[in-house]
Structure 1
């Protein structure tokens, strides 16, 4: 390339061939938790003289080899990855500019993590479930709670509380239940299936999981279940949805204020019969 321009060739400039014009076509914009996918068009211009098709083929191959699946910028500060999408349309002959034009498409992924990695301090139940999971699986598994870190390890498991419910039991007691779901990032489907079996069998056999240190508090394990109908795209990055494994934890408490994460009001329904 002799020159590369953004959007248009500046007025009054007679570019030296071959040159390219880069333009942004748009971005995904609809999934901020997953990051943005930018679409770029690269317009190549070569002279009509001296085998222009061969020159265009050479430039196209060079761009694909240089940019496809490559990290853009410094690896320590940038996480943008380029993907070559191929040629768009057919070559265009421009007799006025004495050029042949070829349009290529490039996508650039700019992931934006949901949250930074922080200790789980807001919910002792989630902390206890994560600790139990670390003991139940092999040492090479990483376990997270709440949200994925910016760069989760593989293999790893994310536990998230998806539902909470409090039922009165007498005048001063409540049955507090929290439903947790697990998302798994494994090297392959076999490793994921083995982990699922270990966890569901371990949870069923555990009956109770201790919470806190030395205070003999427990939560009961209720209905651990593998979700065979879970959407295959559920990966734990969305704020809602269930993973391939769910479990309900239960505990009787005398005061909801004593729990770190009491259930919140989800909705109020009113129906008038007037």
Structure 2
């Protein structure tokens, strides 16, 4: 992880090239410089990998230099997707400046700690075949959102491209009926990631309105199979990577499978003999 972060900073800020360290740097080294310190890492969910934290400790000749480089580091890392050599990827988010600025007497300069949270997506092999209805939702969403958007299903892929939308199955319920038909309610989460907050919220609104206009969503190109829209809600404050801003409940009808058994053709009856 440190290697990918270091490369991103060095490629974005030439002034810090060769001046990024993984541990406390010698006090005699010239300024500016920064130290990358990795924090805790916790497992999240299969579809979004691990949540981890890291800090970039920046040292500069004065507060003006620290201000300048801090803005550049945040711009280089915030909301960026970094791809590792292993195929895994990291989505960074700037979370603030813990502790505030400090005067470093030993280095005769100023220092600031920039804290980042990150989601670490793991490389995985996607199933050869997905449910046909999930592919149908992907196709419908692509037509609704337009070619500029990329639509994914299942899990976040490594190195996903913005702007993008992810459909993820989060739960199912089987509703028993007295007929030969079963009702299957699937709850899906829809994640929307734009290139800006305005673009992101606009697409959330577009999808909500489009789903609301559709009493039934087509599940295949022939429009022979449909989903009945039961519920549709949005939460703009939800984590767009881990949870998704839109929750949808879709109902699909399917036939009950009756196990084939031998039929009763004849009944033979005879009275008990009389004595």
Contact conserved, 1:175 with 1:252, CA < 8 A, in 2? yes
Of 186, 189, 193, the match for 2:205: 193
Unaligned runs of 5+ in 2: 1-15, 260-275
TM-score by length of 1: 0.59
CA separation of 1:251/1:172 partners in 2, compared to 1, >3 Å: closer, same or farther?
Answer: closer
Which of 36, 39, 57 aligns to 1:41? It is: 57
1:252 corresponds to 2:268: no
Q: Residue 112 of structure 2 corresponds to which residue in structure 1?
A: 104
- Alignment partner for residue 234 of structure 1, among 224, 232, 239? 239
Tell me the residue number matched to 2:140. 132
1:209 is matched with 218
Would you say how many aligned residue pairs link Structure 1 and Structure 2?
226
Q: Which residue in 2 is equivalent to 1:268?
A: none
Tell me the SS of whatever aligns to 1:70.
helix
Task: Please give the alpha-carbon distance, in whole angstroms, between the structure 1 residues aligned to 2:32 and 2:193.
Answer: 40
CA shift for structure 1 position 158? 1.6
* C-alpha contact 1:85 1:104 (8 A) present in aligned 2: yes
CA distance in 1 between partners of 2:152 and 2:72 (Å): 36
SS in 2 for 1:164: strand
Give the match's secondary structure for 1:252: strand
2:182 matches 1:174: yes
Question: Are the counterparts in 1 of residues 152 and 165 from structure 2 also a CA contact under 8 Å?
Answer: yes
The two structures, once aligned, show a CA RMSD in angstroms of 4.5
Change over 3 Å in CA distance of 1:59–1:18 after alignment to 2: farther
Contact kept? 2:102, 2:112, Cα under 8 Å: no
Q: Please report how far the alpha carbon of residue 143 of structure 1 lies from its aligned counterpart in structure 2 after TM superposition.
A: 1.8
The equivalent of 1:70 in structure 2 is: 76
1:127 Cα deviation from its structure 2 partner: 1.8
Separation in structure 1 between the aligned mates of residue 168 and residue 93 of structure 2, nearest angstrom: 32
> What is the DSSP-based 3-state SS (H/G/I as helix, E as strand, rest coil) of the residue aligned with 2:191?
strand
SS at 2:207 equivalent: helix
Deviation per CA, 1:195-234: give whole Å up to 9, x if none: 3212321x22xx36344x87x8624413242x24x25133
The match for 1:262 is none
TM-score by length of structure 2 reads 0.59
Q: Structure 1 residues 56 and 117 mapped into 2: Cα distance closer, same or farther (>3 Å)? A: same
**Residues 184 and 253 of structure 2 are in contact (CA less than 8 Å); yes or no, is this contact kept in structure 1?**
yes
